[in-house]
């Protein structure tokens, strides 16, 4: 099956016309930081052993503007972690995105594709996630704009292929900016994934019926720009599955602050709280735990960052993050909590 990202990239390349007035912009960054991870194996309900690590990141951003109507943008991110003793947790994560749009009066139409690939030495929690969409942007007024997207999403999970899926998706987003420094947005989306695995019966055994899910999500967000950049987000998502134990209702609250401090310091803080409800009750399994923990962005978390430039290119960065998941308890069993802390201190370069 060809990647949706590859299809979007090819289509964008075919649609972009040649132009004499082309403008190319780009930005790059790299970082290297030693640190400590208190739960590199992501163990639930037990005392986990901490392990030192060396983390490296790199990113690239590019924009190619062709005349006044055509814009092609690309982004790439790479993250590497090498652990001192937990070699199976050595990991490389890559993310790639490509977007093309062209303006037609009050409308802008285009294609976008994105992909994420996690690859670890031990193979646990590895995955590939790709999506491609066609979209239409509509400027309803100076303050209000809308975007309608339709496309597909492909997810591959090698540790357990029954969680691999493919299906169509659609979304609608509204952006409202009543003031120059204040922005509001509302988005709704839906996905109909079909899984490679079969549905689980209430007795825990697998049936002969293919697993089919229906996923809906809604998000509201407010952004305030000024001497302090502040953002608040609420996300609700629901998954209705014919596989017992896989239906969920999620509520997620998130907030982020970024500010400049004295002594040329820059500080940022991000916090997220997530509550998960299982309509079928909690069906505890290794597969469910792994799917909950494979992505840090799907957990409750608190992240702090302090940076200070030392030249026009280099800066020192100190980071701390804690991630946790509190599953509904089974009786008085306290073993369903997951906590992981990560701290690094390193050097980054931007140009």
- DSSP annotation string for 194-250: EEEEEEEPTTS-EEEEEEEEEEEEEEEEEEE-SSEEEEEEEEEEEEEESSTT--EEE
* Long-range residue pairs from 102-107, CB within 8 A, at least 24 positions apart, any chain: 102/15, 102/69, 102/70, 102/71, 103/68, 103/69, 103/70, 104/69, 106/138, 106/139, 107/136, 107/137, 107/138, 107/139
Using one digit for the tens of pLDDT, what is the confidence trace for 136-192? Answer: 999 888 899 999 999 999 999 998 899 899 999 999 999 999 998 999 999 999 999
Residue 163 per-residue DSSP state: G
Q: What backbone phi and psi angles, to 5 degrees, belong to 248?
A: -145, 155
pLDDT-derived band at 110, boundaries 50, 70, 90: very high
> Contact 68/52 with Cβ under 8 angstroms?
no
* pLDDT for position 106: 82
Digit-coded pLDDT (tens) for 63-100? 999 887 899 999 999 999 999 999 889 999 999 999 99
Question: In order of start, what are the domains of the chain with their CATH numbers?
Answer: 4-350 (2.40.160.40)
Place of tokens 């839906």: 190
Calculate mean pLDDT across residues 13-35.
77
């Amino acid at each position: 099956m060809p990647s949706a990202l590859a299809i979007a990239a090819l289509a964008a390349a075919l649609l972009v016309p040649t132009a004499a007035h082309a403008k190319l912009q780009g930005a790059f960054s790299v970082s290297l930081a030693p640190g400590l991870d208190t739960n590199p194996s992501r163990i639930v309900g037990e005392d986990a052993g901490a392990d030192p690590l060396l983390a490296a990141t790199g990113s690239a951003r590019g924009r190619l503007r062709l005349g006044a109507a055509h814009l092609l943008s690309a982004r790439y991110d790479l993250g590497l972690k090498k652990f001192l003793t937990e070699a199976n947790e050595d990991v490389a994560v890559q993310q790639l995105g490509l977007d093309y749009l062209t303006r037609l009066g009050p409308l802008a139409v285009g294609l976008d594709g994105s992909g994420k690939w996690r690859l670890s030495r031990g193979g646990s929690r590895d995955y590939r996630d790709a999506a491609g969409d066609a979209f239409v942007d509509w400027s309803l007024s100076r303050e209000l704009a809308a975007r309608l997207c339709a496309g597909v999403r492909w997810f591959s999970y090698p540790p357990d292929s029954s969680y691999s899926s493919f299906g169509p998706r659609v979304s609608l987003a509204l952006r409202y900016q009543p003031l120059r420094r204040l922005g509001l947005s509302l988005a709704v989306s839906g996905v109909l994934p079909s899984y490679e695995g079969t549905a689980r019966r209430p007795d825990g055994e697998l049936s002969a019926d293919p697993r089919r899910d229906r996923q809906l999500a809604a998000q509201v967000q407010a952004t305030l720009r000024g001497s302090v950049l502040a953002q608040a987000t609420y996300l609700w998502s629901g998954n209705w599955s014919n596989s017992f134990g896989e239906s969920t209702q999620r509520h997620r609250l998130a907030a982020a602050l970024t500010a400049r401090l004295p002594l040329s310091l820059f500080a940022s803080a991000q916090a997220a709280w997530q509550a998960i409800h299982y309509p079928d009750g909690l069906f505890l399994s290794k597969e469910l735990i792994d799917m909950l923990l494979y992505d840090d962005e799907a957990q409750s978390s608190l992240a702090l960052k302090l940076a200070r430039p030392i030249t026009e290119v280099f800066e020192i960065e100190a980071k701390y993050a804690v991630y946790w998941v509190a599953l509904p308890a089974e009786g008085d069993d306290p073993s369903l909590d997951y906590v992981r802390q990560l701290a690094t201190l390193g050097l980054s370069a931007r140009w």
